[in-house]
A and B are shown apart, each in its own frame.
Chain A
């Protein structure tokens, strides 16, 4: 008889990880995207390149650096020390930190695109109406960038669900804490428990298909909207 609690634990954990990661990324990714879209700084593209690095870097490289950074000699160990721990590796929080780096380009890029897409005009108009910069950002820029925010959130969530290499390297495979879906599938395949592997893998396949389909539909809607706003 299949133990559904055993299968549910990595699913719940993965959803939690992806949700927390996406929220964190929206909070820190939006200002970064805003700056990248608006700034005239000569360092702009260098910063953009750093944000985009995980697109190119093997997860093992990221995992290796994270293992050191999260460890007792790195900043992660220092932070863990504040809470009586000694490392952030093998913790849910450690996975969130890893996932934030790993999924950042997937969130920042669409938001930056959205900020760039509507151009200076709406903000200038708002400025002539005496909207403060803060007000312009909240009442004009953010609502206009909503499709980009949505795209970023969906992509960030999905990419975190699909994360494997980084978690394999910093997770420690602890049930309920760091044993996420991709790791569970890997384990089931390696131990020849293919029924369980099939259930989880099939579920991920359907999930991924739905995400990509959603993205394509969103993309078309976004495209139409931009088409309308371009003179």
Chain B
């Protein structure tokens, strides 16, 4: 292949992309019975389960998009077509309301999250002592600027007076899920993750970080402007408060 054929390839690509664009019918439009939920990564497993229950009951199908809360907020602010926002904090849903991106009186706390220190090695995490001893090379956390579980992790380190000592060992995942994945693959020996992520994970060792070591992780839901007339989205917001949803939350280690 010469450089010239690279050029031919490029022009072929342009043609293919144009055709794909023409063929795509009304992209980005959910079907009537579907609605879109921007969901904090830590909540993904529980959200899928609650979503399945909700669909069985109502016939409406939630389409979940997972990411760091800050990342999702940026997308919403740029007009992403989400109907509901399940954040991992209160600040972003509050801000969404303030910026006119969400329905003012729809905001409520659907879950209180708990932070856990996790290792895939059995017996490695015994409690607070694991952090004080520092017998590891890498400690994974979620990005504290965009992910509330990352911010909580930094607060916990601060409360234990370990922040300066452990900062050189920190590796940042983009969100709680990636922090968990770094620890689950063993690339980081330990990681601060959401307790909810450990509900579906077997093996390893973990310590639930006492709630007094960080500000409470209140996870707020809010109905976005795009979903304000959607019956499905409104029903889903109500369903989050139901006993059925609460039972799922409890199983994933959330307090509600």
Contacts A67-B185, A90-B188, A113-B3 given; does A85 touch B137 at CB 8 Å: yes
B143 partner residues in chain A, CB cutoff 8 A: 173, 187
B97 at the A interface (CB under 8 A):
no
Q: Which of B2, B138, B146, B185 contacts A191, CB < 8 Å?
A: B146
Please, could you name 24 A-B residue pairs with CB atoms under 8 Å apart, sorted by A?
A70-B187, A71-B187, A86-B137, A86-B189, A87-B186, A87-B188, A89-B182, A89-B187, A90-B188, A109-B1, A113-B2, A172-B138, A172-B140, A172-B182, A172-B188, A173-B171, A173-B172, A174-B170, A187-B143, A190-B68, A190-B71, A190-B146, A192-B77, A219-B3
Chain A contacts for B3, CB-based, 8 A: 110, 113, 151, 219, 222-223
Interface residues of A in 176-193 (CB under 8 A from B): 187, 189-192
- In the docked arrangement, what's the CA distance between A68 and B188, Å? 12
Which residue on chain A has the smallest CB distance to residue B9? A55
Contact among B70, B71, B171, B186 with A72 in the assembled complex (CB-CB below 8 Å): B186
User: Please, which residue of chain B has its CB at the minimum distance from the CB of A48?
Assistant: B1
B172 engages A174 (CB within 8 Å): yes
- Distance in Å: Cβ of A129 to nearest Cβ of chain B: 29
The CA-CA distance from A87 to B139 in the complex, in Å, is: 13
Q: Report the minimal beta-carbon distance from B193 to chain A, rounded to whole angstroms.
A: 15
In the complex, chain A residues whose CB is within 8 Å of the CB of B181? 67
Query: Which residues A2-56 have CB closer than 8 A to chain B?
Result: none
Known: A67-B187, A190-B74. 8 other contacts (CB 8 A): A67-B181, A71-B185, A87-B187, A173-B171, A190-B68, A191-B146, A192-B77, A219-B3
A-B contact count (CB 8 A): 68
B69: nearest chain-A partner, CB-CB: A190
**Cα of A73 to Cα of B121 in the assembled complex, Å:** 13
**B70 pairs with A191, CB closer than 8 A:** yes
> Among A73, A110, A191, A219, which residue has the most Cβ atoms of chain B within 10 A?
A191
In the complex, are the beta carbons of A172 and B137 less than 8 A apart? no
State A33–B247 Cα separation when bound (angstroms): 60
Could you give, for residues 138-174 of chain A, a 1 whenever the CB lies within 8 Å of some chain B CB and a 0 otherwise? 0000000000000100000000000000001000111
Is B186 a contact partner of A187 (Cβ separation < 8 A)?
A: no
Residue of chain A at shortest CB distance from B3: A219
Contact yes or no, A72 B74, CB < 8 A = no
For residue B253, CB closer than 8 A to chain A, the reply is no
- Cα(A223)–Cα(B182), bound, Å: 47
For A86, list chain B residues within 8 Å (CB). Answer: 137, 189
| B79 → chain A closest CB, angstroms | 15
**B interface list, Cβ under 8 A from A:** 1-4, 68, 70-71, 74, 77, 137-138, 140, 143, 145-146, 170-174, 181-182, 185-189
A189 touches B187 (CB 8 A): no
0/1 interface trace, chain A 95-122, chain B, CB 8 Å (1 if under):
0000000000000011001000100000
Distance of A190 Cα from B147 Cα, bound (Å): 10
Task: Select one of A72, A110, A117, A174 contacting B187, CB under 8 A.
Answer: A72
Q: Verify B140–A73 contact, CB threshold 8 A.
A: no
A90 to B186 alpha-carbon distance, docked (Å)? 12
CA gap between A85 and B68 in the complex, in Å: 30
What is the minimal beta-carbon distance from A221 to any residue of chain B, in angstroms? 11
C-alpha spacing A129/B162, complex, angstroms? 71
Q: Please give, as numbers and ranges, the residues of chain B lying within 8 Å of A89 by CB-CB distance.
A: 182, 187
A172 touches B2 (CB 8 A): no
**Chain A residues, Cβ within 8 Å of B1:** 109, 113
Residues of A with C-beta under 8 A to B4: 223
Q: Is the CB of B74 within 8 A of A90?
A: no
**B185 x A190 contact (CB < 8 A):** no
| Residues from 183 to 222 in A contacting B, C-beta threshold 8 Å | 187, 189-192, 219, 222
Complex Cα gap A109–B138 (Å):
38
A68 to B185, CA, bound (A): 7
With a cutoff of 8 Å between Cβ atoms, the chain A residues found around residue B186 in the complex are 71-73, 87
Q: In the complex, A89→B171 CA distance in Å?
A: 10
- For residue B121, give the distance in angstroms from its CB to the closest CB of chain A: 10
- List, in ascending order, chain B residues with CB within 8 A of A68's CB: 185
Chain A residues closer than 8 Å to B71, beta-carbon distance: 190
